[in-house]
Amino acid sequence: ALLCGILVTCPEDPLRYLEGMIMVIIKSGLQNLLWDMCIAPSMKPNIRRLSETYLEQLFELDDQLMTPELMIKACSFYTGHLVKTHFCTWRDIARTNENVALAEKMNRAVTCYNFRLQKSVFHHWHSYMEDQKEKLKNTLLRIQQIIYCHKLSIILTKWRNRARLKSKKKEDELILKHELQLKKWKNRLILKRATAEESNFPEQSSSEGSLVDETLKCDISLLPERAILQIFFYLSLKDVIICGQVNHAWMLMTQLNSLWNAIDFSTVKNVIPDKYILSTLQRWRLNVLRLNFHGCLLRPKTFRSVSHCRNLQELNVSDCPTFTDESMRHISEGCPGVLYLNLSNTTITNRTMRLLPRHFHNLQNLSLAYCRRFTDKGLQYLNLGNGCHKLIYLDLSGCTQISVQGFRYIANSCTGITHLTINDMPTLTDNCVKALVEKCSRITSLVFTGAPHISDCTFKALSTCKLRKIRFEGNKRVTDASFKYIDKNYPNLSHIYMADCKGITDSSLRSLSPLRQLTVLNLANCVRIGDMGLRQFLDGPASIRIRELNLSNCVRLSDASVMKLSERCPNLNYLSLRNCDHLTAQGIGYIVNIFSLVSIDLSGTDISNEGLNVLSKHKKLKELSVSECYRITDVGIQVRSLRSSVKEVLTLALCSDY
């Protein structure tokens, strides 16, 4: 009944309609339920009640065949057909409504999607425009800064030119004044000599008078202060003291403050007494910036007087046998601004090592070479207080008492070291270097001479550092494998000193060829290097910038190497081919084609007078060493002297015929 009511009436609100019809059915009871009970009377179909006679006529049945079962089936079929027809109609209407609702939803979804897409695009466009505005703003600021700097540069240039012009004008006036004074002095001197000759005075008296007049009239104290300082800077401390005793004017010149910024007592250590050093330091204590006591044998009281120099920045007490921890204590308390400290070969102990981080907070250069009385514990003190974290140069040469643990202490306290020197230290091993570079990764310059136990493992450990200069000498454990690490890890290497390393072969030179920044290469006494290795090295980009090349005692090199040098080294200034026996006159001819060459060492080679004559054609050569060249005679030297008058140094030691 509900379904028939919905199908026939098609209400606008089906749910509310069903609720109302259900209430009607409940009130009337289920026993009175009819199939058209939910249909409005005006919409009910006009159906006649079927009678048995009508059914008989409809289905052409006989009276004896009309039974109640057939009647029930007919009604059921008719009812099912009616329900099916109305349900399909309702289903089509419902589907039409769903399609309309779905289309509306799709339209709303498309509208929402387009809105979000526009919003996203606008957001990206807005961000892009903001970035462009920021870039434009930064560009404008940069342009304004450039214009401002350019204006300042123009102003400073004009000011500098004007200042130079005034200074030059003032100097010209002073020079003119001195020239006039000198001219007057010469005229007076000539007049006095003429008067002396006429009066028959002794010649000696006349010369003495002229010297006195010269001293009185030619006064250099009238020169600019800068010129006076430049003159006195060329004099030693002893000469300055003597000049101060000439007269009052010279004494005033020797008392210029800038002249006493640096005092070198090492040049007069055997002449000057402690008393004068005390008085000098007391008088110039506020001006002294640099003191050098190298090798001075002084009393402890004299060293204590250094503490009065509050502005001291550099102190050198190397090789001072009387310098002790007590002297260091007084100096550290009075001179906290020391930047450079050289304690080489002194008797300091762990007490001094404890004072360094406590007082010298800005210490940058420290030399402890050959100081063997401090221990690993002293190195541990470097990390106390503010520590020596600003230290950039450290020299530990000859400190054989330092163990692997000591190098760990150095790494913990001095992480900023860039230059490290460790010479004459046979106890130095690969483990020491590994412990040091664990935290000292800023090392750029490294010097290890006299360390026979260093091997290729050291180069592997140093791969974390950005080395630019390395120096190894007299090491037999360094092989070609080290140079492979150099090729891969040190592209900015500029100086290589690997003298007397017998394990280096031609393969090492091939590994060095890609180094574009290499300017100095020293492979002296590397006897296994030959023409093939040098040719492979010169074929790479390293040959373009090389300025200094030392191949002394590389006995396998021949004229082919010199020819390659003349072709690939346009900037070579210094070349050493000492004791290269296979070098002939043809190779000497190739040397002339190295136009930038300034100095060359051909000692111990087979060069003769003809080769010397060929070298005389080189225009820039200033230094030539041909010691132990037994084929050179006086004739060759004479030709050489005629054709090369501009040369500065010519070494001819042990030339048998000279």
| Tens digit of each residue's pLDDT (9 = 90 or more) over 338-375 | 999 999 999 999 999 999 998 898 899 999 999 999 99
Could you give the CA distance from residue 92 to residue 86 in angstroms, rounded to a whole number?
10
Contact 261, 229 (CB under 8 A): no
pLDDT at 10: 83
Query: Token pair for residue 65?
Result: 């065949």
pLDDT at 651: 58
pLDDT at 50: 47
Query: Token pair for residue 114?
Result: 């387009």
Could you give the CA distance from residue 578 to residue 553 in angstroms, rounded to a whole number?
6
Could you give phi then psi for residue 281, rounded to 5 degrees?
-65, -35
Q: How far is CA 280 from the centre of its chain?
A: 42
Angle in degrees, 0-180, between the axes of helices 52-59 and 68-199, rounded to the nearest 10: 70
Helix, strand, coil abundance in the chain, percent, nearest 5: 55, 10, 35
Which residues does the chain have with pLDDT short of 50? Answer: 50-51, 64, 201-217, 640-646, 657-658
Could you give the CA distance from residue 70 to residue 52 in angstroms, rounded to a whole number?
11
**Nearest CA-CA partner of 511 in 521, 525, 500:** 521
Contact 615, 639 (CB under 8 A): no
Query: Token pair for residue 569?
Result: 């080294």
Other Cβ atoms less than 10 A from the Cβ of 618: the count is 20
Query: Token pair for residue 13?
Result: 């609100």
* The residue count for the chain: 658
Scanning 37-67, the segments in alpha helix (DSSP H) are 52-59
Contact 544, 519 (CB under 8 A): no
Domains identified in the chain and CATH numbers: 1-46 (no CATH), 348-463 (3.80.10.10), 467-472+484-657 (3.80.10.10)
Chain segment 260-274, per-residue pLDDT in tens = 888 888 888 888 888
Other Cβ atoms less than 10 A from the Cβ of 465: the count is 21
pLDDT at 216: 42
